[in-house]
Amino acid sequence: MPISPVLDFAMPFSGARWFDVLPRSAACPELSPKVLLHAGPPFRGAPPAPVINSAIQALLFEGLTSDAAAARELLLRGEVKLQPAQNHRVATPLAQVVSASMLMLAVERQGEICYAPMIEGSAPALRFGSPAPECLQRMRNVGAWIESSVLPLVRDAPVAIDALIRIAVAAGDECHARTSVANEALVARLRGLDAGGGARLRAMPAFVLPLLMAAASAVMRSPSCDIEAVGGNGVEFGVRRRGEREWRQLAAQPPRGSRFDGMGALTPLAAIGDSAVIDFCGLGGQALSAAPLLAAEWSAALPSDALLRRQSVLDPRTGIVDPERILGSALAPLINLAIIDQDGAAGLIGRGFYSPPVELFSRAAGLTQTK
């Protein structure tokens, strides 16, 4: 029996395919090496500590400076600029910033190509704002392996993203907070990957997440989507409407959910990450009805309508968040996000969900000019 459009969580991603891996310098040649791309809307003040940590790591990765103190000075003096990644068709997870030579996964859908940076593995990791020096070496090692062993397979046989999503959702993963099933489906579709390579990718269950982010960004570039960019920068959460250069942004709160053992006393950072694009395309927080284990984990914090929220905020014809339905229902989308330490020392401390203010989606919401 055909899946109804309302319940086909993969419908918006039809036609999206992972087809390439390339450095940011090749994907965005217009950007100077002294520009770093960050998640969410532009900063209207100082970036939070995890983003500063990631920016310092990026400058070291690029060889633009040789030590963390000198990198911090470059940032403080304004010699290195931070810009919203989604202004350049890039979606970056959490606190990770994207520099010129970092590898990005390229996804195409209906002529739209969007990108997301490759991640280097589990914590400590750049996306959690870690200052740990081993993150950079892991990024180099993983990148070299992807280019030599995985990229030829992808170029030879691009991977359909909607197929991964259907397998994952059927197994109880909502493709944002839980991605291990989608990642396993990705390994299965990389024909020619040897056993060692398969084991290496399985050991990084979040590797598939940037692919889902890039695919969702491409979906949001389609004419049927009224919101072209969405995300948090750790201070504010914002959206950019179709045809506008400016972001609408308001102060953000930290995600609510569950903390890892020993992390309950730490102060969480406000919502951060471009991975919100996944939830705006009907997965993540809008797919909690298909992820019972996750919904049970957060049951004490979730709103009473959480499993039905998609019906209030998504256009049933497209499966994409519709601002008019948000305003009409006075309900905002739920966005599943990792919780990271505000001070940038502990990194990942839990996982949960965030719901932005409804007024953010009004045409009357304030605009912030961006370059």
pLDDT band at residue 90 under the 50/70/90 scheme: very high
Decide if pLDDT at 6 tops 90. no
Q: What percent of the chain has pLDDT over 70?
A: 96
Fold of 225-368: v583 fold (3.90.1700)
pLDDT at residue 250 in the model: 97
Decide if pLDDT at 369 tops 70. no
Decide if pLDDT at 4 tops 90. no
Written as six digits, the tokens of 269 are 């950072």
pLDDT tens readout for residues 130-142: 999 999 999 999 9
pLDDT at residue 175 in the model: 98
pLDDT tens readout for residues 150-179: 999 999 999 999 999 999 999 999 999 999
- The SS3 call for residue 336 is strand
pLDDT band at residue 274 under the 50/70/90 scheme: very high
Q: What are the extents of the domains in the chain?
A: 225-368
- The SS3 call for residue 109 is strand
pLDDT at residue 16 in the model: 98
Output the CA angle 346-343-138, nearest 5 degrees: 45
pLDDT at residue 3 in the model: 36
pLDDT at residue 7 in the model: 60
Q: What is the mean pLDDT of residues 307-321?
A: 96
**Those residues with Cβ within 8 angstroms of residue 269's Cβ, 6 or more apart along the chain or in another chain:** 48, 50, 95, 129, 234, 254, 339, 340, 341, 342
